A = this chain, B = another copy of it.
């Protein structure tokens, strides 16, 4: 499926849509005052699958799969159902499909809908798997000759994040207060973070549970789909809190995900191998095939009321570890994985300065302010800034998009 598949939904056939028939990503939405519904993006419309199920127009051999309006119950049905349903949708939305007249009443304009969290996040794990990001951060905090931690080339380093703080694109982000202490201060203070940052990441969603260790192939099979992910980070809170047990409140304010889950099936034509290994991996982590994806990514920043500047452009295929490798490592201890677990890839920075996926790297720790197209300068984020992540896999005459992953930063809450 590397060429455009034609649909009776006209706008899905445009080369400029993120949502051609080849994509069919899964989301959740509501209209003003309405209840939550599960939907599938097609062109500039959403197919209301909660309504289709209620109307008896789906054939899933299960009832009430979409009554909660999220995709967790569907994921839990297993990969056979994932494939069957995608095949059914592809056929029903194709040019000339006999379902057109039945389905048309359940097609709603995306512009009229409010997009919500497409799934309920069970647990959230964030990784640190970008070679260039780890090198940049290590160079900033240690030195370039010794930038990578000794374990980095052997382990996809990760830590548990906070599922309760994951929000959907469009949700405002409140600058956090926190304990801060720079080395020149005697005592910490409790103040708004002054070094609030973004992290450009991809998120992988676990759709199949496990107990005990899984192979990299099994891990890949467990992944349901991918989202864009912005792991908002308070660098000054992190610097003071993170030794010895890792980031905690610095990463707990919010993590924004894109509204559409792009399925692994839709990304299949874009598989890409991890880069050459600098040290051989232990056998349990070796990939049996390409498990990254060729997805162009960009970060845009718009100061309040002004136009956006593209801060960075990179690609998911620069990562050192794939989500499948991360998931395999996650299970080594016997850690049970559940439907709805979310794995953040780690910040995706490429080799050049304009490929960096965080302001920490782009402003080199705040020492080299960026000048935006509007003339504004930035080291870290300012109140009112809107951050937008975009991602696209490019086929022949079509593209696969995720919808925007966007958030606007609001001032910190009062201190009392």
Residues of chain A touching chain B, judged by Cβ–Cβ distance below 8 Å, are 122-123, 128, 149, 151, 154-155, 157-165, 174, 176-179, 181, 187-190, 212-213, 234, 237, 240-250, 252-254, 279, 282-284, 329-330, 332-338, 341, 413
Contacts and interface: CB of A to CB of B under 8 A. Distances in A.
A190 B234 CA distance: 35
A179 B245 contact: no
Contacts of A245: 128, 157-159, 242, 246-247
Given A149-B243, A179-B155, A249 B162 contact: no
Main secondary structure of the interface of A (DSSP, over half): loop
Given A245-B246, A284-B190, A234 B164 contact: no
A177 B154 CA distance: 15
Contacts of A213: 177, 413
A193 B104 CA distance: 58
B128 A176 contact: no
A184 to B, nearest CB: 13
Q: Which 3 A-B pairs have the closest CB atoms?
A: A246-B246, A252-B335, A160-B160
Given A174-B334, A245-B247, A252-B334, A190 B157 contact: no
B333 A176 contact: yes
Contacts of A176: 332-334
A177 B332 contact: yes
Contacts of A160: 159-162, 248
Contacts of A158: 245, 248
B241 A157 contact: yes
14 contacts: A123-B164, A151-B188, A151-B241, A164-B341, A165-B334, A176-B334, A177-B332, A179-B332, A189-B282, A246-B246, A250-B333, A252-B334, A253-B334, A253-B335
Contacts of A329: 249
A136 B339 CA distance: 39
A349 B96 CA distance: 72
A39 to B, nearest CB: 25
Given A159-B160, A253-B333, 20 more contacts: A122-B164, A123-B123, A128-B244, A128-B245, A149-B243, A151-B240, A154-B188, A155-B179, A155-B241, A160-B160, A160-B161, A160-B162, A164-B341, A165-B335, A213-B413, A242-B245, A245-B247, A246-B246, A249-B333, A254-B334
B242 A244 contact: yes
Contacts of A187: 154, 279
A413 B164 CA distance: 33
Contacts of A159: 159-160, 245-246, 248
Contacts of A154: 179, 181, 187-188
A361 to B, nearest CB: 16
Contacts of A336: 164-165
